[in-house]
Amino acid sequence: MNEELNALNAQFEPMLEQIKELFFEFGIKNLNMDEISRKLGMSKKTLYRFVKSKEDLIAKLFEFEENKGLRLSIDIGNQDDNAIEKLFKVSLLVYEEMKRFNPMIMFELRKYYEQLFNEFHTRKLAQISTSMQLNLKQGIDEGLYRADVNIEAVVALFINYLIEIHNSSDMCKTINLSFDDLFKVMFENHIRAISTPAGVAFFETRKKEISENLKNNNQ
């Protein structure tokens, strides 16, 4: 039974990527299971081999995104980079993900799948928190972050900044700033606030490339 379930999940993963793109393009409410199956080029009966309902589909999509994010975070954590390099790579992943979840998608998830969304959101924040704590400890050990940094407080503030930036579309229009501009300022302020002189010096040598990476990832 488990082998059969694992085989089904393996078959369904590529479809989840397609379904995610469909939701980004058309919205969640606008697509029912008939339309999703048709756009995937399969019968609704075949689609129901993998999911029980649209709500089950949303739950599986959340699980898929969560697992993918965890794998990428672990991969970055295992790389032979210092803490500032790793923080940028993880932050860029979060940044890219948040940019895709436009206000309409977020509104629909909260309105029609509130419990699923809240559970996913809680797990995602916990995942980011764990990654940040490991990063801060590494940076302190490397002498790039200050030894007197309050890890719990810094993590809480960083996550709050990410959330505020994601909800800042109206502010961006008012002050003529892009999401990218806010992210770059937030990231630099965070690094300068927690770093030793050695950490700041390293960041200065990488600042231009970090900005270029952000620019390239937005094209």
Write the CATH number for 60.
Answer: 1.10.357.10
Per-residue pLDDT at 162: 77
More confident residue, 190 or 210: 190
Give pLDDT tens digits for 174-199: 556 676 777 788 889 999 999 999 99
pLDDT over 60 at 219, yes or no = no
Range of the domain at 6: 1-51
Average confidence (pLDDT) over 50-79: 92
Domain boundary among 36, 51, 66: 51
Considering the domain architecture, whether residues 17 and 81 belong to the same structural domain is answered as: no
Long-range contacts, stretch 206-209, CB < 8 angstroms, 24+ apart = 206/84, 206/85, 206/88
User: Any bridge partners for residue 145, and if so which?
Assistant: 195
Domain boundary among 9, 28, 51: 51
Per-residue pLDDT at 182: 77
Considering the domain architecture, whether residues 190 and 120 belong to the same structural domain is answered as: yes
Assessment of whether the complete model's pTM goes beyond 0.85: no
Torsion of CA 79, 83, 89, 92, to 10 degrees: 160
Considering the domain architecture, whether residues 91 and 189 belong to the same structural domain is answered as: yes
Per-residue pLDDT at 138: 97
* Three-state DSSP class for residue 132: helix
Considering the domain architecture, whether residues 21 and 84 belong to the same structural domain is answered as: no
The answer to whether 214 touches 183, Cβ cutoff 8 Å, is: yes
- Give the count of domains, the chain: 2
The answer to whether 191 touches 210, Cβ cutoff 8 Å, is: no
Alpha helices (H) in 78-196, listed in sequence order:
83-100, 103-112, 114-142, 151-166, 169-175, 179-194
Per-residue pLDDT at 152: 95
pLDDT over 90 at 167, yes or no = no
DSSP code, position 145: B
Write the CATH number for 35.
Answer: 1.10.10.60
